[in-house]
Amino acid sequence: MTRTRTLHPTACANLVTGIMLKKDSAPLSSLAGNKLRNRSFIADTRSKCQKMFTDFFARVPDFQPFHPHAGPFHHNVHCGILHQAETRGGWRVVRTGPLFDDDATTINATKFHAAVGRALRAYCAQLRTEPWGSSAWTKLIKKLKATA
């Protein structure tokens, strides 16, 4: 008997950056291929969150422009929004321009959201091809248990 797995998009969204869609689907092979298989999940991300951002930005092609700025992004955008409901350190979230402008430290929210969506769809596509007891599913279950 074959077991059918259905992933709710919200459940997947909570995974991709400790994290992280909705449109512009791309095949898994075009989104870093085997690099997506090497993701790590840490049940307790306190003090490890910046590394999760660094690894994600390095692994997912759409986010590679952020990779050299992973530390400041984590501190000024992630922590700023999470703890103070605003970015800090001169970082701004806008709706026009490139995905990331490192000179102006601006992030295009619309493009960022679309890139997150592509990454999430790629991850969900990977899970559909993995056997139930695989490392990818084991890590997913571990993360879901840690966030539930």
Q: What residues does 106 pair with on adjacent strands? A: 92, 101
Report if residue 2 sits inside a domain. Answer: no
Residue 5 contacts residue 127 (beta carbons within 8 Å): yes
Report if residue 114 sits inside a domain. Answer: yes
Report if residue 129 sits inside a domain. Answer: yes
pTM of the model: 0.67
Considering the chain, what percentage of its residues have pLDDT values greater than 70? 68
Report if residue 108 sits inside a domain. Answer: yes
pLDDT tens for 64-101 read 999 999 999 999 999 999 999 999 999 999 999 999 99
Number of domains the chain is built from: 1
The average confidence (pLDDT) of the chain is: 78
Residues 96 and 137: their CA atoms lie apart, in Å, by 37
Residues 91 and 20: their CA atoms lie apart, in Å, by 20
Give the H or E element holding residue 57.
helix 49-59
pLDDT tens for 34-55 read 444 455 555 555 568 889 899 9
Report if residue 120 sits inside a domain. Answer: yes
pLDDT for 44 equals: 57
Report if residue 35 sits inside a domain. Answer: yes
| Domain of residue 99, residue span | 9-147
pLDDT for 143 equals: 86
Helices (H) and strands (E) in the chain, counts: 6, 3
Report if residue 4 sits inside a domain. Answer: no
Report if residue 24 sits inside a domain. Answer: yes
